[in-house]
């Protein structure tokens, strides 16, 4: 007859569908009881997963049934998103649990589009999400979220309320300047502007704040990385050799400032013909996977070059909102879950697994 410990062990070791991580890495068992031919299970995940709750429940039901040999299984799953560490020299931001930088080594790889859809995907998974448009020279998030031309309000004359688009809190320099006004600023001015946007915005209890970083790895990016309390970073690249070359530099930059890289997203992996649906790897293939292998980080996912993604984002209704049941939206949600899960793994404290070493002076 199976015991509670047998059931808990099986649940803890189970690899979550589509995640490549065991429950012990990204969550825990709150309750696992065997009562005759019945099992009662309560699980807690460290990442949001509302859209695949039914899939996870069915999966763990099957795991439990295999342990108790059939019978009735009751599974309850909830998510609890925790705050994770930032750079040692910085303090976490009030009302923001986790800041994730979405970065690229070069422009034109779809970083901003990816950031917008990831934010919306996390929201659909049940998280409270914000986006900080840190691309001072080319702010695009106001257009992507359909709030272009609006201005933030202030309740106290000192701080700004973020605008809200599709249930995502947004702040961008684009809200404070004219659309056609070029930002002819030097590095220190850009750094100061970003710091004000981040610190003087009244974020409302966010689980995740995604920072749409400027492209490149110059002085501005390095300064921003040192002043923004970031829990992790994601690198967006294309399979093209020149993009991968710059993406590798971006990854190394984050490592130098002690910001963990959660993974790599390969955008424009294939081109989808709008007429026949044929997919072709016009920028090459395997580049993102090779880079992930070289730097021992996770390839979070691959996204196609599809005209629908561009049209939907430009219209202010990104893919995850425009076509939530479509294949591309599912890909964004899967990548968002994997990104959040990777952050959850980073937050684990494994010190208790190591023996304590005591040095005594016996002289």
| 125 token code pair | 């998974």
**Other CB atoms within 10 A of residue 53 CB:** 18
Parallel, antiparallel, or unpaired: how do β-strands 271-272 and 279-280 relate?
A: antiparallel
pLDDT in tens, the chain (363 residues): 568 899 999 999 999 998 889 999 999 999 999 887 889 999 999 999 999 999 999 999 999 998 888 779 999 999 999 998 888 888 888 899 999 999 987 778 889 999 999 999 999 999 999 999 988 778 899 999 999 989 999 999 899 999 999 999 999 988 887 766 666 666 677 778 888 889 999 999 999 999 998 887 766 677 777 788 999 999 998 887 777 888 888 898 888 888 999 999 998 877 767 777 777 766 667 778 888 888 899 999 999 888 889 899 989 999 999 999 999 999 999 999 999 999 999 865 443 344 444 445 544
- Rounded distance, CA 75 to CA 43, Å? 8
Q: Which region, left, alpha or beta, applies to residue 76 given φ > 0 means left and ψ of -120 to 50 means alpha? A: beta
Angle at 278 between CA 274 and CA 279, to 5 degrees: 105
pLDDT at 118: 98
* Cα-based distances in Å from 169 to 119, 125, 160, 164, 322: 10, 16, 12, 5, 18
Are residues 178 and 35 part of one domain? no
Domain hosting residue 47, numbered range: 4-79
Are residues 308 and 265 part of one domain? yes
DSSP, collapsed to helix, strand or coil, labels residue 140 as coil
- Rounded distance, CA 323 to CA 226, Å? 37
| CATH number assigned to the domain comprising residue 260 | 3.40.50.300
Residues 6+ apart with CB under 8 A from 204: 95, 128, 162, 169
- Rounded distance, CA 215 to CA 136, Å? 10
* Cα-based distances in Å from 29 to 20, 51, 159, 351: 18, 20, 41, 20
DSSP, collapsed to helix, strand or coil, labels residue 353 as helix
Are residues 101 and 70 part of one domain? no
| CATH number assigned to the domain comprising residue 36 | 3.30.300.130
Are residues 203 and 54 part of one domain? no
DSSP, collapsed to helix, strand or coil, labels residue 8 as helix
pLDDT at 363: 45
Helical H runs in 102-240? Answer: 111-124, 141-144, 187-199, 219-227
91, part of any domain: no
Are residues 141 and 52 part of one domain? no
87, part of any domain: no
Are residues 40 and 136 part of one domain? no
DSSP, collapsed to helix, strand or coil, labels residue 39 as strand
Are residues 124 and 29 part of one domain? no
pLDDT at 2: 67
Nearest to 51 by CA among 357, 337, 270: 337
For residue 360, which phi and psi values (nearest 5 degrees)?
-115, 145
204, part of any domain: yes
pTM over 0.75: yes
Are residues 341 and 230 part of one domain? yes
Q: Domain count of the chain?
A: 2
Are residues 221 and 305 part of one domain? yes
- Rounded distance, CA 293 to CA 305, Å? 23
pLDDT at 347: 63
Which of 54, 79, 104 corresponds to the end of one domain? Answer: 79
Are residues 108 and 19 part of one domain? no
Are residues 158 and 40 part of one domain? no
Are residues 268 and 120 part of one domain? yes
């Amino acid at each position: 007859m199976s015991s509670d410990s047998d059931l808990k062990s099986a649940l803890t070791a189970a690899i979550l569908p589509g995640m490549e991580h065991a429950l012990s890495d990204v969550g825990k068992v709150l309750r696992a009881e065997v009562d005759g031919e019945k099992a009662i299970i309560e699980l807690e995940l460290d990442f949001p997963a509302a859209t695949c709750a039914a899939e996870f429940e069915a999966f763990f039901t099957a795991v439990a049934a295999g342990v108790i040999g059939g019978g009735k299984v009751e599974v309850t799953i909830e998510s609890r998103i925790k705050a994770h560490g930032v750079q040692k020299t910085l303090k976490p931001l009030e009302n923001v649990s986790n800041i994730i930088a979405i970065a690229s080594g070069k422009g034109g790889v779809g970083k901003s589009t990816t950031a917008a859809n990831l934010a919306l995907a996390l929201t659909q998974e049940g998280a409270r999400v914000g986006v900080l448009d840190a691309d001072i020279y080319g702010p695009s998030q106001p257009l992507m979220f359909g709030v272009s031309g609006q201005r933030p309000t202030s309740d106290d004359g000192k701080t700004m309320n973020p605008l809200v688009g599709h249930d995502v809190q947004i702040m961008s320099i684009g809200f404070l300047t004219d659309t056609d006004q070029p930002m002819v600023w030097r590095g220190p001015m850009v750094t100061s502007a970003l710091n004000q946007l981040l610190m003087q915005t009244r974020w409302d209890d966010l689980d995740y704040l995604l920072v749409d970083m400027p492209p490149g790895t110059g002085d501005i990016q390095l300064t921003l990385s040192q002043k923004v309390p970031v829990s992790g970073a994601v690198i967006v690249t294309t399979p093209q050799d020149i993009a991968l070359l710059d993406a590798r530099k971006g990854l190394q930059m984050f490592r130098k400032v002690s910001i963990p890289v959660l993974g790599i997203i390969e955008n424009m992996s294939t081109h989808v013909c709008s007429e026949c649906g044929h997919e072709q790897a016009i920028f090459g293939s395997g580049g993102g996977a090779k880079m992930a292998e070289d730097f021992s980080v996770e390839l979070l996912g691959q996204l196609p070059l599809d005209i629908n993604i561009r049209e939907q984002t430009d219209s202010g209704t990104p893919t995850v909102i425009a076509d939530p049941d479509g294949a591309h939206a599912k890909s964004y949600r899967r990548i968002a879950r994997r990104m959040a899960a990777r952050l959850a793994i980073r937050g684990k404290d494994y010190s208790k697994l190591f023996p304590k070493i005591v040095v005594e002076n016996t002289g």
